[in-house]
Amino acid sequence: MNLVERVQAILLKPKDTWPVIESETGDIPSIYKNYLVYLAAIPALATFIGLSLIGVGGFGFSFRVPILTGLVNLIVGYALSLAMVYVLALIADALAPTFGGQKNMLNAFKLVAYGATAGMVGGIFGLLPALSMLGLLAGLYSIYLLYTGIPVLMKAPQEKAAGYTAVLVVCGIVAGMIMGAVSAMFSGGGAAMTMGSHSGGDVEIKVPGSDVTINTAKLEEAAKKMEEAGKQMEAAQAKGDSAAAGKALGEMMGAAMGSGQGGQPFSPDTLQGFVPSKLGNLDRKSIEARSDTAMGMTFSSVTSEFGNDKGRVEVKVQDIGTMPTLMMAMGAWAQSTVSRETQDEVEKVYKKDGVAIKEEYRKDGSRAEMSMMLANGVMIEVSGDNVNMDGVRTAMNSLDVKGLAGLQRKK
């Protein structure tokens, strides 16, 4: 059954379709690759276009999420929504005995993946923020899909299906709040969007000014890692080891973000070696090199402050190349070309010598920022207070950008 036929069947004839789904062979990575990778993109893309390209307006008020911020939210939200399906499947599987059902992780994953169809398809209403309530109604229909699927896939008695569904929905709301908080960590007229497949199985998503290619082989690899972490979390929960269960959940989230797929992170000491003790006529006031691990993801960064009595410049060097998904998100602007100017501000994104560069500054010289995304996953950010754009460019040129770009990552 192809994608469109499956969507139509589960939405229009759920009671007839669930037994078919229950009998199908396959595994979790194949459901990700052949179904969820497409369905989860609908709300992510529609919300980006609705909030960043069309905007919200009424009663003399209008608002748009900046395009670059919108791209970050699109990619991170998309990755985390894929992870949340697996988390909810783990919960559905764990709840089965409580409601007289049978534990079966594959069936639990099928229940959540196909049960979420209505909510994901309803995400198309995000194209017009004024119609977002219709998307909520579509999400409510997904609750009905779960209710009809529980007796078939989890073998729970019909009379306990309502309670099973209610608990699973509450867990989904909590998971959604967590996903929103994680997404916020990385956030800083109509338009067309297209989706397509390459011969190699990759999925390409195009939005104005940016193309995003999703490597489905990497997605399958991430799904297998999430599955492995899920088993570890289940075993830890059975033993009452909350610390191990939390660690496994973090590894699962890290797998969703592609942790480690890009190789080993550069050490903070390595990055610090490329930050000088002086930038032009600005002395270095402080420097901090650190490595942080959260949710199965490791970050290396160096932050340094330079200044004198006339101005202040901050230099930040971050290594985000170990996680392809995070790199796509935080560096989403690197795929765009932007030239925007208002009465007070200027924003530009362009490429020079193959390196993506972003410049943002106020015309009165009170604030300026410049970022570079290097091919090896190192991102350099220089920002200045009471420093104009020329001063920030001079500071960037004082850094050993070629040396940073030449760093080779170990696999």
DSSP code string of 248-259: HHHHHHHHHTTT
Tokens of 87: 């988390």
Q: What is the pLDDT of residues 213-236, one digit of tens each?
A: 444 455 555 556 655 665 665 676
Mean pLDDT of 14-43: 89
Q: Which backbone phi and psi does 313 adopt, to 5 degrees?
A: -130, 135
More confident residue, 262 or 406: 406
At residue 163, the pLDDT reads 83
pLDDT value, residue 370: 93
Residue 99 has pLDDT above 70, yes or no: yes
Structure tokens at 211: 């193309």
**Percent of residues in the chain assigned helix, strand, coil, to nearest 5:** 55, 20, 25
- Residue 21 has a pLDDT of 94
Question: How is residue 138 written in tokens?
Answer: 């579509």
Closest CA to 266 of 250, 289, 287, 294: 289
Percent above pLDDT 70 for the chain: 70
User: Which among 220, 21, 180 is positioned nearest to 115, based on CA atoms?
Assistant: 21
Per-residue confidence (pLDDT) for residue 181, from 0 to 100: 55
pLDDT of residue 382: 93
Domain ranges of the chain: 3-256, 268-405
- Which of the residue ranges 121-125, 167-171, 313-317 has the most confident prediction, judged by mean pLDDT? 313-317
Look up residue 92 and give its two tokens.
């559905």
Q: C-alpha distances in angstroms, 237 versus 99, 171, 233, 247, 347?
A: 18, 16, 6, 11, 50
In this predicted structure, what is the pLDDT of residue 205? 43
Residue 323 · residue 297 · CB < 8 Å: yes
237 pLDDT above the threshold of 80: no
At 279 the pLDDT is: 83
Instruction: Report the pLDDT averaged over residues 307-321.
Output: 85
pLDDT range class, residue 110, cuts 50, 70, 90: very high
pLDDT for the residue numbered 178: 59
Is the C-alpha dihedral spanning 221, 297, 285, 384 positive or negative? positive
Q: State the average pLDDT over residues 339-359.
A: 87
* Of 370 and 333, more confident: 370
Structure tokens at 345: 């501000």
34 pLDDT higher than 70: yes
**Using CA atoms, how far apart are residues 189 and 215, in angstroms rounded to an integer?**
31
The pair of structure tokens assigned to 81 is 């929504």
Judge contact between 316 and 301, C-beta under 8 A.
Answer: yes
Q: Which residue has the tokens 């991430």?
A: 222
What is the average pLDDT across 75-102?
84
- Looking at residue 297, its pLDDT comes to 64
Task: Please state, in angstroms and as integers, the Cα–Cα distance from residue 340 to each residue in 271, 337, 344, 346, 361, following that order.
Answer: 32, 10, 11, 6, 11
Torsion of CA 46, 50, 52, 55, to 10 degrees: 180
Mean pLDDT value across the chain: 77
Task: Give the tokens for residue 180.
Answer: 């929103």
Q: Compute φ and ψ for 298, nearest 5 degrees.
A: -115, 130
More confident residue, 211 or 274: 274
More confident site: 270 or 136: 270
pLDDT at 250: 57
| 404: CB partners within 8 A, 6+ apart | 271, 274, 317, 374, 376, 378, 380
pLDDT score, position 52: 72
Average pLDDT value for residue range 174-197: 49
Cα separations (Å) of 28 from 1, 116, 143, 156, 272?
A: 17, 15, 21, 21, 42
Q: Provide the 3-class DSSP secondary structure of residue 133.
A: helix
DSSP annotation string for 145-176:
HHHHHHHHHS---HHHHHHHHHHHHHHHHHHH
**What pLDDT does 196 receive?**
43
* Distance in angstroms (rounded) separating the CA atoms of residues 246 and 257: 17
- Does the pLDDT value for residue 411 go beyond 90? no
pLDDT at 26: 83
Average pLDDT over residues 127-145: 75
pTM of this prediction? 0.51
**Predicted pLDDT at 78:** 81
pLDDT at 136 over 80: no
Residue 293 structure tokens: 């691990």
Pick the CATH number of 268-405 from 1.10.405, 3.40.50, 3.40.1000, 2.60.120: 3.40.1000
Task: Give the sign of the dihedral formed by CA 66, CA 68, CA 70, CA 73.
Answer: negative
Bigger pLDDT: 315 vs 186: 315
- Residue 88: pLDDT over 90: no
Between 207 and 70, the more confident residue is 70
